[in-house]
Chains A and B, each alone.
Chain A
Amino acid sequence: MKIAKARLEVSAEQKKTMLVRTFVVGGISLVLVAGIVLRLYQLQILNHERYATRATDNRLVTQPLAPARGLVFDRNGNVLAGNKQVQSVSAVGENIEDINALLERVREILPFSADEEESFRKRLKNTSRPGEKVILKRHLNDVELATFAVNRYRYPELSVTTETLRDYPMNDLMAHVVGSVRQITKEDLQRLDPIRYGATMFIGRRGVEKFYEDALHGQVGKRTVEVNVHGRVMRELTREPPARGRTITLHIDAMLQRIADEALGDRRGAVVAIDPSTGGILTLVSKPTYDPNSFVMGMTDRAYNHLINRRDTPLFNRATQGTYPPGSTFKPIVALACLSEELVDWEEEINDITGEFRLPNSSQVWRDWYQHQSGRGQGKMDMYRAIYRSSNIFFYELSTRLEVDGLARFANSFGIGRATAIDVADAVDGLMPTKQWKRETKGESWYRGDNVNLFIGQGDILVTPLQMATFAGLLANRGEWIRPRLLMSSDQPIELGEAFTRSYPRIEGPSEDDWTMLVDSLRAVIHRGNEGYLQNGIAWAYIGMDIPYEMAGKSGTVQVVGIPYGEELVEEPREEYKQEHALFFGFAPVDEPVIAVAVVIENGAADGGGGSSVAGPVVRSVIDAYLGKSVAVISD
């Protein structure tokens, strides 16, 4: 007891030391707390602004809101391009640890095809933005949706999203008019406005979708949301709704388009119909065609390669990008050019006895198409008859009177060699040769023989079906220019540049009489009949005998394979792709034209057929349908 007490007692000296040291400890604690308070002061008062900003950056996220893409209608209110909502299962690449394992697990409840898998993997590798949702399976039906919902907890990487997809209800019918959209890629984002396209998944690729991309896209909206650390949206703080893209109505007439499409059938070619009074493009068919919906969904490499490697090139827009020698359809322009220059008049006659033509001091022989059939000429020929009989000899003769550059200037004013349509995406210029052009591209001077070929629309000259329809409309308008266009109206005005909307002056040169006579001769091509073979319009037998309205037109049959100088065209069975193209343009009614149509059928003139017999009936059925006078077409 004593000892224990002694142990507990502290000596006075020791006690003093301990007391002093306790005070030292207390002092140290004061210093420590003061230090920490100073640190708090630094963080909370001195640097408050900086940390407050960072806290805000942490929790606030501004998300772009994609606008709904504008709708596209035809003139009768049929939807050509719309939007539809589909339920899809998608994943964010960053959340996937093992893609193979994931797909294996998904397969247990949600079967997907090899194509879907391939395109999923492809898109995952090429996502354009971080955190982008990539779709594994689209268009879930109710059973699949329910199955997935039940098993959802097993697939935290996946989510069900409602997507707005572009929808082309007419499928392949309007592919070459409306075009298609495709998913935006990384490369696209580098050139696109990053804010405007911040939430957009699709961009116009071809056709109207491409040309009116700006108007159809609409204005992006945005919202500010508060997110937690996992990125989950807790609440929406502000919202600027997106503005839907323009709703646009095209001049296109879906019914007429369908008729033109059916009239072409399985043949390769193009049909373009224009209302000459407005320039409105009523029909723009190019065949073969494709289903634009398949571009919306994203194709597998295999499907895409198949599409682009097909020999008949379904993605190629023959109506706006296909270029063909115009052949005899060019003759009316040549005629007007020579008439304006007063190098010929309607009275002058030549006598075509042999059906052959030679340039002075040349042994080279050019023949009339009739000479190939009969070995003879077509007899006495003036301008009027040269057109309804499509005489080559008459135009060979004219080729000696007018220089190529003079013709080129005139043809240019008809829109040959340049794209004149206001709003047709990727329409090409075609080619109107000149002396300078030949020197620059071929390094040769212009030969007299080149002129001979050119004056019957052969040789280097190339036009698109759209250009053919355009000059058909010009002939129908007797030289009054109204540029072709697709857009008829839009819910709000669409601003196009001045270059697009500039109007062209009336064609100068031909007199009033020239126009009247020319149109009449084009009318005779179809209506002049029962006069004996050599006196009938060359299309009469095919489309003119039963025609209940007044129509004017011109045929053309053009060689695909160039014939070298000094050689004859060998009449032997040729491979399909080497057969002549069949061309025809027409407009009706003659006095007050409401429609001008051009048709090109590639390699269509097999078995001795030509523009009149092959392409003519297609023009006729389109015009018949448009005028509402459906009359059976007699095809021979």
Chain B
Amino acid sequence: MTETLSVPSSRPPFTYLIEAIKKNFNLDWTLLILLACVATFGLVILYSSLGKDQMALIKLIVKIAFAFGLMLAACSISPQTYFRLTPLFYAGVIGLLVAVMFIGETSKGSQRWLDLPFLPRFQPSELLKLAIPLMIGWYLCLRSFRMNFLDFCVVLAIAGLPTGMVLLQPDYGTAMILLLGCAGIIFLVGIRWRWIVLVVFLVAASIPVAWLYLLHDYHRTRILVLFDPDRDPQGAGWNILQSKIAIGSGGMNGKGLFQGTQSQLDFLPEGHTDFVLAVIGEELGFVWCTLLLVCYLLIFMRALYISIQSSNGFGHLVGAGIAIIFFLCVVVNVAMVVGLLPVMGLPLPLVSYGGTSAVTTLVSFGVIMAICTKEQWMVKE
């Protein structure tokens, strides 16, 4: 009591906190503006895709605002804290994934969701997009960023263990992105080119084996309809065919917001989630699709730029790793929607409807801003 009262009036309560935040407030305005642009664009297109549902729009605005708040919070935390908490965070996410395997909720044939008390329903696999780069960065710090074969195996295990659990859900899209992200980080660390060639060769060689022995029939169908959606226009080819029709019919300038026939008449499935780009393509056309892609590219470039300016290897590696995963999400989703990759059930970051995705994406960028600081920092033992 007396101690609290003895605080001098010139130092009001929370001052320490505010100062701590000021000290570590590494907000990158360029990134913030670009992210806000994309998120706003997403809100507009979702409003159309959801049939001008104003209640849904308000809920979305609240969610996005909340996610931006979390991003600001995330960028205010010191890099040391991230570094120290990384193993704990990673272990926590693994624990959540285990929980998903047992008490997860199933939706559309895969068990991805966790509904815990006092928390909104979320997908723990989304957290891996943050946890895996952090954990690999953390481990490589211990190894002073030099990798021998054993380190290589450990890094693969760090990514492989949770990715395997994601595969079991099954969520092939996320698993693929996590593995590719991991590969990206290993590439950045400086793995030798001949190893890279070897890995690429091995992956290429394993494709026929996977085709014959690992893939289910419906996987093969999904891949085959990619080349010819009309081989099963009412079944496996439906999504991709309708998506291409939506995008193609949009033309240069689109049919106008709210005017998309494919999206408004429900020919386009998942128009507010995975196939939201098709709605953009149909209603706003080539121009706005390209603008959106350029925005994503700028975000990615800006994130890479921040990461290379880090004072140390942890920042560089983790920042770039998170950015790579983000960018892969965008590219894989868009490639899927325009019919270049099989349908995998991946959202378009910041635009698709879905809370966990938006929160993890924005928090990820908060983390990038926080740890990729030019200032020298050390881990206190």
Contact = CB atoms under 8 A, between A and B. Distances in A.
A7 B317 contact: no
Contacts of B339: 39, 43
B308 A51 contact: no
Interface in A220-252: 226-230, 234
A5 interface: yes
Interface in A1-21: 1, 3-11, 14-15, 17-19, 21
Interface stretch (A25-33, A73-81, A136-144): A25-33
26 contacts: A11-B145, A18-B313, A19-B308, A21-B187, A22-B188, A22-B304, A22-B307, A22-B320, A33-B293, A36-B334, A36-B340, A39-B335, A41-B286, A43-B247, A44-B248, A44-B281, A48-B248, A48-B251, A50-B248, A52-B248, A54-B245, A56-B261, A58-B242, A58-B261, A58-B265, A59-B265
A14 B314 CA distance: 12
A561 interface: no
B53 to A, nearest CB: 16
Interface string B354-365: 000000000000
B246 interface: yes
Interface of A: 1, 3-11, 14-15, 17-19, 21-22, 24-26, 29-30, 32-33, 35-37, 39-41, 43-45, 47-48, 50-52, 54-56, 58-59, 226-230, 234
Contact of A8 (B262, B294, B338, B379): B379
Contacts of B221: none
Contact of B251 (A24, A26, A52): A52
Interface in B292-329: 293-294, 296-297, 300-301, 304, 307-308, 312-314, 316-317, 320, 324, 327
- The SS class assigned to the A binding surface is helix
B249 A18 contact: no
B347 interface: no
B238 to A, nearest CB: 10
B145 A47 contact: no
Contacts of A54: 245, 248-249
A3 B381 CA distance: 9
A36 B266 contact: no
Contacts of A30: 297
Contacts of A17: 190
A29 B266 contact: no
B22 interface: no
Nearest to B191: A21
Contacts of A227: 265
Nearest to B266: A229
A331 B281 CA distance: 90
A47 B245 CA distance: 10
Given A41-B286, A48-B248, A226-B265, 15 more contacts: A8-B312, A8-B314, A10-B313, A15-B313, A17-B190, A18-B308, A18-B316, A19-B308, A36-B335, A37-B293, A43-B248, A51-B244, A51-B247, A52-B251, A228-B267
Nearest to A20: B190
B331 interface: yes
Given A33-B294, A44-B248, A4 B338 contact: no
Nearest to A47: B248
Residue among A22, A35, A37 with the highest chain B CB neighbour number at 10 A: A22
B224 interface: no
Given A22-B188, A51-B244, A59-B265, A39 B338 contact: yes
A436 B252 CA distance: 82
A19 B285 CA distance: 37
Nearest to B307: A22
Interface in B66-102: none
A40 B338 contact: yes
Contact of A18 (B188, B251, B293): B188
Nearest to A57: B245
B130 interface: no
Given A18-B189, A25-B304, A40 B265 contact: no
B312 A32 contact: no
B141 interface: yes
Closest 8 CB pairs between A and B? A51-B248, A55-B249, A10-B313, A4-B379, A8-B312, A17-B190, A228-B265, A44-B286
A37 B249 contact: no
B342 interface: no
A314 B335 CA distance: 72
A17 B184 CA distance: 14
B381 A1 contact: yes
B290 interface: yes
Contacts of A51: 244-249
Interface string B255-298: 00000011001110000000000000110011001100110110
B380 interface: yes
B285 to A, nearest CB: 7
Contacts of B242: 58
B312 A40 contact: no
Contacts of A4: 378-381
A31 to B, nearest CB: 11
Nearest to B377: A8
Contacts of B312: 8-10
Nearest to B294: A33
A32 B335 CA distance: 9
Given A1-B378, A10-B313, A21 B286 contact: no
